[in-house]
Amino acid sequence: MHIALVTETYPPEVNGVALTVQALAQGLAEAGHRVEVVRPRQPGVAAEASARMATVTVAGAALPRYPGLRFGLPAGGLLRRRWRQQRPDAVYVATEGPLGLSALRAARRLGIAACTGFHTRFDDFVRHYGAGWLTPLVFAWLRRFHGRADATLVPTDELRQFLQSHGFGRVHLLRRAVDTQLFHPGRRDPHLRAQWQATADTPVVVYVGRIAPEKNLDLAVRAFRAIQREQPGARYVWVGDGPARAALQAAHPDFLFVGTQHGEALARHYASADLFLFPSLTETFGNVTLEAMACGLATVAYDYGAAREHIDDGISGRRIARDDADGFVLAARQLAREPHLRAALGGAARDAVLPLQPPSVITAFAHLLEQLRQEKRHDHPAALAST
């Protein structure tokens, strides 16, 4: 198949959407499909290209309060011209910005099957930036945006049911994958732990992700301080960057901020820690949960998203009720002081995610796109003949 992936964020930007789209693009190309990635131009970054993967860059602008991220400007005319000459079999739109909307409109005008990915709860995000009154308007926009597509893909059954109950149509489950070869307990690195001033017995807690207000960081800090009161030598390693980093680093000089990590370096940071705390309540999924589990880390997370789908509470991690901050702290304290329990949960966590291999997700994604293409061909033969 010829598949166009449209996204307003892409590596070297580091976030769940960017990395998920890159994994889809690379996986589809490796499976023999012809892929084009449509994304905003990134200053100083060369476009990724190969025999089976092309990149189409469009104008973009920096995202307010997130200078490292960009959004794409509308490119409907360019996409219509390109897709008339090199027609994709299907289009996948990963982001709900101006570029994504123009791509949906272009696909609809040309009679090309198009699906969207529901990756980010922007309606929740606005609460954390002083604009909670916008929440219903943002949610209405998301519903209208995804309503233009032939299908909307979500990573959890919980989210599928939620969207369907709120007026979203044709919502399909596409599970996320994790590279269990890259994210592996064998990446544990004593030299890295030594840099953190951690001995073999020192409990090391790790945070991985965007360091931003919507991530519920106050609870992460509270849980670690509770651990530290019982085990003064405990260390907290923060992997990532974001608008809250400077203030957090100034307020907690004993925390270790190591910046954004990629690939094997990221895997070493997970595997060299002992406990992963994920207090966020604004994720649609939380890829970092799968990565931590694949590295054999005991994980404490709230009961939704990736944790609900893949953590068996008390067996492969701890899954805490969404309104129970005290329970989150209690679970963190228990795991920090019980290394044998951490090891048991971490081993079971790795086993739980081993079936989530990227090739199986790529196959399911391509199969769904082919179904949409066949439906479009059946429903709109005249439109296809005129393009």
pLDDT tens for 106-153 read 999 999 999 999 987 665 555 655 566 667 787 888 899 999 999 999
Separation of alpha carbons 65 and 60, rounded Å: 15
Q: Is the pLDDT of residue 260 over 90?
A: yes
Indicate if 33 and 79 belong to the same structural domain: yes
* Burial annotation 184-207 (CB, 10 A radius, 16+ → b, else e): bbebbeeebbeebebeeeebbbbb
Q: What is the share, in percent, of the chain residues with pLDDT greater than 70?
A: 91
**At 65, is the pLDDT very low, low, confident or very high (cuts 50, 70, 90)?**
low
**Vertex 369: Cα angle to 364 and 374 (nearest 5):** 125
Indicate if 122 and 248 belong to the same structural domain: no
Q: Is the pLDDT of residue 385 over 50?
A: no
Whether 188 contacts 271, CB under 8 Å:
yes
What count of other Cβ atoms lies within 10 Å of the Cβ of residue 130?
9
CATH of the domain at 254: 3.40.50.2000
Structural domain total, the chain: 2
Whether 102 contacts 74, CB under 8 Å:
yes
pLDDT at 378: 72
**At 14, is the pLDDT very low, low, confident or very high (cuts 50, 70, 90)?**
confident
Lowest mean pLDDT among 82-91, 133-142, 203-212, 242-251: 133-142
Q: Is the pLDDT of residue 383 over 80?
A: no
**pLDDT tens readout for residues 151-179:** 999 999 989 998 999 899 999 999 999 99
Indicate if 160 and 302 belong to the same structural domain: no
243 or 226: which carries more pLDDT confidence?
Answer: 226
Indicate if 233 and 147 belong to the same structural domain: no
Residue written as token pair 């090891």:
343
Indicate if 127 and 164 belong to the same structural domain: yes
Domain containing 266 equals: 185-353
Indicate if 104 and 189 belong to the same structural domain: no
pLDDT at 273: 98
Indicate if 96 and 171 belong to the same structural domain: yes
In sequence order, which ranges of the chain are alpha helices (DSSP H)? 16-30, 76-85, 98-110, 122-125, 135-147, 157-165, 190-195, 217-230, 245-251, 263-271, 287-294, 305-310, 325-337, 339-353, 358-379, 381-386
